[in-house]
């Protein structure tokens, strides 16, 4: 067993939703805050020290369509380019029951529960494991108490509906706030480490 930590990053509305009542593509309470200096600085913090990206299929396909061109875009914000370059170069593990071939280089497809995949990843390699916005991966890892760090962006909007990350039935756990920053629009960048 290595000392690899498992980190997760997600943005939530003030009332705890990662999307709005319109479904998975209703990100009106999230997207405007993703391009602030606070959010971009937060983006840099999430990947530094990580060597593996653990993604669900939908995020992997969405990221593939967006991030690789950013890595080469000299006009893009340097923080966005940094994340994009990291993602392109990092080991990527995509959890999927339907994909048969990897959508990216340095990517492998795994059809197994998230907790089992994390247990396997922690047996070898160096650097942390990052789950970025993939709620289908984050939720089972919360349920199995396998997350060591949470990066949260809290936006100052109430959606009134949508899907929640933190649902009833999760095991009780204690977390220590290790970083907080407030952006000009009222968004909060927070880092919590699991207290064990």
**Calpha distance 24→35 (Å, rounded):** 20
The tokens for 127 are 């650097």
**Calpha distance 95→146 (Å, rounded):** 16
- The structural domains of the chain, with segments of one domain joined by +, span 1-7+49-128+143-148
Concatenated DSSP letters for 43-85? HHHHHTTEEEEEEEHHHHHHHHHHHHHHHT-TTS-HHHHHHHH
160: pLDDT strictly greater than 80 = yes
pLDDT tens, position by position, 125-144: 899 999 999 999 999 999 99
**Calpha distance 10→46 (Å, rounded):** 10
pLDDT given at position 1: 73
pLDDT tens, position by position, 81-129: 999 999 999 999 999 999 888 878 899 999 999 999 999 999 988 999 9
Q: 1-7+49-128+143-148, which class in CATH?
A: alpha beta
Q: Report yes or no on whether pTM surpasses 0.85.
A: yes
Average pLDDT for residues 172-196, to the nearest whole number?
A: 97
**Calpha distance 84→94 (Å, rounded):** 17
Q: Name which of 171, 161, 141 is nearest 54 in CA terms.
A: 141
């Amino acid at each position: 067993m290595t000392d690899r930590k498992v980190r997760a990053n997600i943005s939530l509305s003030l009332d705890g939703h990662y999307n709005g009542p319109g479904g998975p593509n209703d990100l009106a309470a999230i997207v405007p805050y993703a391009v602030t200096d606070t959010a971009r600085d937060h983006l840099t913090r999430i990947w530094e020290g990580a060597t593996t990206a653990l993604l669900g299929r939908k995020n992997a396909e969405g990221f593939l369509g967006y991030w690789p061109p950013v890595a080469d875009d000299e006009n893009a914000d340097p923080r966005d380019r940094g994340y994009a370059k990291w993602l392109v170069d990092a080991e990527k593990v995509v959890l999927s029951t339907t994909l048969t071939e990897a959508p990216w280089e340095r990517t492998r497809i795994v059809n197994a529960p998230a907790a089992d995949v994390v247990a396997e990843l922690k047996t070898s390699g160096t650097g942390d494991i990052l789950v970025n916005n993939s709620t289908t991966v984050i939720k089972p890892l919360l349920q199995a108490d396998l997350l060591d760090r949470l990066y949260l962006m809290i936006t100052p909007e109430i959606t009134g509906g949508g899907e929640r990350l933190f649902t009833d039935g999760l095991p009780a756990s204690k977390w220590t706030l290790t970083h907080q920053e407030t952006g000009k629009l009222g968004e909060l960048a927070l880092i919590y480490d699991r207290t064990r």
